[in-house]
Chains A and B, each alone.
Chain A
């Protein structure tokens, strides 16, 4: 199975600055990768799919990049609402396994 690894586990950034979150796949997933945001007590929210396409309604401050095994989620001009846990998910294999990374907690510095 494809293993997804996120780094760092916790990221401390000040409001207004930029956050860079990383996600690695144990084998190539091409661009079949999604990013989600989850706040306490809420379900996840799809941010990015196909590695770099923003889901409807997602601000341009969120951008995804990467392909193959290395991926990045960048959040510019951090707002108070952005502090949450972020997960990556691969969907390259068939039959599907849809593996999630373990998450990165983005907290206020």
Chain B
């Protein structure tokens, strides 16, 4: 069964930076698009970023564009989210997830999820 384990969360001051990691195992990591989705405390889900299997194609929600950078290391089966210029509204649990895709590579939902890592932005 696919295993995804996020790490790197914690308390950071507004304007600060943090790098989240997602360790993937039990599947061919480089074959999958991956995404980051966050959930503020007591709130709904917000997709924030998406990366192709090769790492060449990257996409961001407007709320994080220019501040967050997604990347991956396929040799080490790791997904990253570099977050900078953090704001109070970035406080959330951050999940990494695998993208399900059809034979043509078209996205069909986030199929496997990690347990999440909590990021708190506060002075």
Q: How far is B44's CA from A38's CA once the two chains are assembled, in angstroms?
A: 10
Check B44–A101 contact: CB distance below 8 A: yes
Partner of A36, one of B45, B59, B107: B45
* B residues contacting the other copy or chain, number (CB 8 A): 22
Partner of A97, one of B45, B61, B115: B61
* A residues contacting the other copy or chain, number (CB 8 A): 25
Check A96–B45 contact: CB distance below 8 A: no
Query: Closest residue of chain A to B35, judged by CB?
Result: A98
Check B44–A50 contact: CB distance below 8 A: no
Check B45–A100 contact: CB distance below 8 A: yes
Residues in chain A near residue B45, CB distance under 8 A: 36, 38, 44, 87, 89, 100, 103
Check A49–B47 contact: CB distance below 8 A: no
Check A43–B114 contact: CB distance below 8 A: yes
Residues of chain A touching chain B, judged by Cβ–Cβ distance below 8 Å, are 1, 34, 36, 38, 42-46, 49-50, 53, 55, 87, 89, 91, 95-103
